[in-house]
Amino acid sequence: MTTVSSKPTGKKIQLKNKYQTFRNSEGFFVNAFQKNIYLKDKFKAMDNHFYVQKFQEAVDTISLKEFTHAGLKFSVDFILESIALKIYKPEWSSNMESPIDAPGRIFFSVWVNEKSVEQKKVYYNIHALKLRNIKGYTIQARSFADDFRKRFEEDCQNWENVSVKYGPLTLMEGWIELNPDHLVKDLHFLAEKFLNLSPVIDEILTSYRSKI
């Protein structure tokens, strides 16, 4: 299942500082400048068509057999000022009918935005949002994050520029160098690394299954 969505709002925002960097609700870095700007113009400084095309091409050309066998699904989305590829399982969400935007969910994402393109970086991370909402489990976010990070120690050296020094909502985050000519290949590489890591999430979730 592959989706591409964009919802420019045309909402005007007034900013006080010359330059701000912060995270949006999905954990992606966002830039803002001192002037009235419109969200519909958010990709003005980067070639959004190129990156949407490359992210979609990565999904369309990856070998899906192993991902499908593991129950993993893909989406390519506009998330505020970022173009993101997400990999997720419906079972990792509080709403299996709409897992991509469920309040409680775990997902892997790879994204670019104006800031990351300027830095020549592609960011990636794993988010664990409102795990208490996932039915059938009794999960404390910090405990789940600690359990994941202990297991991730065995594999973290294989992930470039990665860190786990975040709150419990971001299990890990890192980046790779942005090379537009190799972007599709690099997205495949990160997706396959997460495919290999995903059983760890399943195993940890099993330990939090509610007892009836």
pLDDT of 23 over the 80 cut: no
Is the pLDDT confidence value at 22 over 60?
no
Greater confidence (20 vs 186) lies with 186
In this structure, are strands 73-79 and 4-5 parallel, antiparallel, or unpaired?
Answer: parallel
Residue 22 lies in a domain: no
Lowest mean pLDDT segment, chosen from 40-49, 151-160, 167-176, 203-212: 40-49
pLDDT higher than threshold 70 for residue 76: yes
Confidence band, pLDDT 50/70/90 cuts, at residue 9 = very low
Question: What domain range is 143 assigned to?
Answer: 4-11+46-207
pLDDT for 31 beyond 90: no
Q: Is residue 23 part of a domain?
A: no
The whole-number pLDDT of residue 34 equals 29
Cβ atoms of 88 and 99 closer than 8 Å: yes
Strand ranges inside 58-204, DSSP E: 73-79, 82-93, 105-113, 121-129, 170-177
Side chain identity at 62, as an amino acid letter? I
pLDDT tens across 118-170, in order? 999 999 999 999 999 999 999 999 999 999 999 999 999 999 999 999 999 99
Residue at 155 is within a domain = yes
For the ranges 22-36, 94-108, 165-179, which has the lowest average pLDDT? 22-36
| Structural domain count of the chain | 1
The answer to whether residue 131 is domain-embedded is: yes
| Ramachandran category for residue 34: left, alpha or beta (phi over 0 → left; psi -120 to 50 → alpha) | beta
Flag whether 64 is in a domain: yes
Average the pLDDT over 171-196 and give the result: 98
pLDDT, tens digit (0-9, with 9 covering 90-100), for 92-108: 999 999 999 999 999 99
User: Which residues are bridge partners to 119 per DSSP?
Assistant: none
CA-based angle 40:116:89, to the nearest 5?
80
Q: Is residue 39 included in any domain, yes or no? A: no
Q: Decide: 88 and 100 in contact? Cβ < 8 Å.
A: yes
Question: What's the pLDDT score for residue 37?
Answer: 33
In a domain, 38, yes or no: no
Residue 199 lies in a domain: yes
Q: Is 140 helix (H, G, I), strand (E, B) or coil?
A: coil
The overall pTM is greater than 0.95: no
Please, which pLDDT band fits residue 45 given cuts at 50, 70 and 90?
low
